[in-house]
Amino acid sequence: MAKEFVNRKSAAGRKAYAKILKRIAEDSVCPFCEPNFLKYHTLPILKKGVHWIVTENMNPYKGTKTHVLFVHRGHLEDITKLSPAAAAELFKLARWIKTTRKLPGAGLFMRMGDMRYTGASVAHLHANLISGAVQDTHEPIAVTLGFKK
Ligand SMILES: [Zn+2]
């Protein structure tokens, strides 16, 4: 069986995204490895760190005002392979987004390893930073991070 770089099930309900994931699956390349990333990703790169590329998510979760991606610059699929320097840079870049966007509150999360357990769409290690509206009368933003036992 060919290596799976993307999880097409994770696009459920997002039609345009499903189309992109289908194309990537057919190309059988990792969409987050440079230079493939620049081929599939058409939004501006906000910052290139030593270890991470920071950019807007092309397929933001419904209800987010901000949905930024941190894509590890080398192909890794698990946090167990992440260097301490890369881990430190991720938090530095997340702080940079939180500060420069003046976000009053945000969520930062990362899926890792076998995509069948996480709902990730891309195996290549990346983190998401999301922010939406104030709680008040607004519904929560739905994020799949795993599945119930
Ligand atoms: Zn990759």
What is the structure's pLDDT at 12? 72
Domain ranges of the chain: 8-131
Band (2; pLDDT cuts 50, 70, 90): low
Q: How far apart are CA 107 and CA 120, in angstroms?
A: 16
Compute, in angstroms, the gap from residue 31 CA to the centroid of ligand 1. Answer: 6
| First-last CA distance in the chain | 27
Q: Which residues contact 104 (CB under 8 A, 6 or more apart)?
A: 131, 134
Band (20; pLDDT cuts 50, 70, 90): confident
Minimal CA–CA distance to 119: which of 87, 143, 86?
143
* The two structure tokens encoding residue 72: 């590890």
Residue-wise pLDDT tens digits, 91-149: 999 999 999 999 999 999 999 999 999 999 899 999 999 999 999 999 999 999 999 99
Compute, in angstroms, the gap from residue 5 CA to the centroid of ligand 1. Answer: 8
**Contact present, 148 and 117 (Cβ < 8 Å):** no
Round the average pLDDT of the chain to a whole number and report it: 92
Q: Residue 84: is its pLDDT beyond 80? A: yes
Compute, in angstroms, the gap from residue 124 CA to the centroid of ligand 1. Answer: 5
**What b/e sequence results for 4-26 when a residue is b if at least 16 CB atoms lie within 10 Å of its CB, and e otherwise?**
ebbbeebbeebeebbebbeebbe
Query: What CATH homologous superfamily does 8-131 map to?
Result: HIT-like (3.30.428.10)
Band (49; pLDDT cuts 50, 70, 90): very high
Tokens 């397929």 belong to 59
